[in-house]
Amino acid sequence: MTPLDYVVLFGTILGIAAYGTWRTRDRRDLHAHLKGAGSTRWFTIGLSVMATQASAITFLSTPGQGFESGIGFVQNYFGAPFALMLICIFFLPIFRRLNVYTAYEYLGRRFDAKTRLLGAALFLFQRGIGAGITIYAPAIVLSTVMGWPLDLTIICSGLVVIVYTVVGGSDAVSLTQRYQIGVIFAGMLAAFFVMLARLPAGLTLTDALTVAGGFHKLEAVDFSLDFSKRYTFWSGMFGGMFLALSYFGTDQTQVQRYLHGSSLRESRLGLMFNAVFKIPMQFFILVLGALIFVFYQFQPQPVFFNQTVWNREVQAAGGPGLRGLEQEFNAVHAEKQQAIGHWLAARHGGDATAEAAAKAEARAAYDRSEAVRARTKAALTAANPAVATKDSDYVFITFILNYLPHGVIGLLVAVFFAATMSSKAGELNALSSTTLVDVYRHVVRRDETDHHYVVASRWFTVMWGVIAIAFALLVKMSENLIEFGNIVGSIFYGVPLGLFLIAFFLKRIGGTAAFWAAVLTQVLVIAAYFGDIGVSYLWLNPLGCAACVVLALVLQAVLRDDTRPAPAAEA
Amino acid sequence: MKPVDKPDTESETTGLPWPHSWRGVYLFVTGVFVLWVGLLTLFMKLFA
Q: Give pLDDT tens digits for A208-263.
A: 999 999 999 999 999 998 877 778 999 889 888 888 999 999 999 999 999 988 99
Residues 77-116 of A with CB under 8 A from B: 78, 81-82, 84-85, 88-90, 93-94, 97, 110
pLDDT, mean of residues A111-118 = 96
Residue B29 confidence class, pLDDT cut points 50, 70, 90: very high
CB contact under 8 A, A89 and B30: no
CA-based nearest residue in chain A for residue B11: A89
Instruction: State percent of chain A over pLDDT 90.
Output: 69
Point out which residues pair with A557 in neighbouring strands.
none
C-alpha dist (Å) from residue B17 to A23, A89, A265: 32, 21, 14
User: A88 or A131: whose pLDDT is higher?
Assistant: A88
Count how many residues are written for chain A.
571
pLDDT, mean of residues A409-430 = 93
Q: Give pLDDT tens digits for A49-101.
A: 999 988 887 888 899 999 999 999 999 899 999 999 999 999 999 999 999 99
d(C-alpha A481, C-alpha A477), whole Å: 5
- The distance from CA B25 to its chain's CA centroid, rounded to whole angstroms, is 5
- B4, B29, B40 ranked by CB distance to A85: nearest: B29
Residue A409 confidence class, pLDDT cut points 50, 70, 90: very high
Distance from CA of B27 to the nearest CA of A (A): 10
Which of B13, B27, B34, B40 is best to mutate for the A interface (most A CBs within 10 A)?
Answer: B40
> At residue A534, does pLDDT exceed 90?
no
> At residue A469, does pLDDT exceed 60?
yes
Residue A7 confidence class, pLDDT cut points 50, 70, 90: very high
Look at A4-8, A97-101, A227-231, B42-46 and tell me which has the smallest mean pLDDT. A227-231
CB contact under 8 A, B14 and A269: yes
> At residue A436, does pLDDT exceed 90?
yes
Number of Cα atoms under 13 Å in the Cβ half of residue A398? 26
> At residue A564, does pLDDT exceed 80?
no
CB contact under 8 A, A279 and B33: yes
- B1, B2, B7 ranked by CB distance to A97: nearest: B7
**What does the pLDDT read at residue A317?**
76
d(C-alpha A212, C-alpha A316), whole Å: 36
Q: Is A268 on the interface with B (CB under 8 A)?
A: yes
**What does the pLDDT read at residue A477?**
54
Which of A212, A157, A154, A214 is CA-nearest to residue A180?
A157
pLDDT, mean of residues A537-556 = 90
Residue B42 confidence class, pLDDT cut points 50, 70, 90: very high
> Collapsing DSSP states into helix, strand and coil, what is residue A232?
coil
Look at A22-36, A340-354, A443-457, A509-523 and tell me which has the smallest mean pLDDT. A22-36
Look at A29-33, A210-214, A381-385, A404-408 and tell me which has the smallest mean pLDDT. A29-33
Distance from CA of B11 to the nearest CA of A (A): 11
Distance from CA of A214 to the nearest CA of B (A): 6
> At residue B31, does pLDDT exceed 50?
yes
**What does the pLDDT read at residue A365?**
97
d(C-alpha A115, C-alpha A502), whole Å: 12
> At residue A117, does pLDDT exceed 90?
yes
Residue B6 confidence class, pLDDT cut points 50, 70, 90: low
- A74, A90, A268 ranked by CB distance to B3: nearest: A90
- B1, B7, B41 ranked by CB distance to A221: nearest: B41
- Which residues lie closer than 8 Å to A546 by C-beta, 6 or more apart? A494, A498
Whether A164 contacts A17, CB under 8 Å? yes
CA-based nearest residue in chain B for residue A566: B5
**What does the pLDDT read at residue A26?**
78
C-alpha dist (Å) from residue A323 to A335, A363, A385, A398, A528: 19, 24, 18, 20, 45
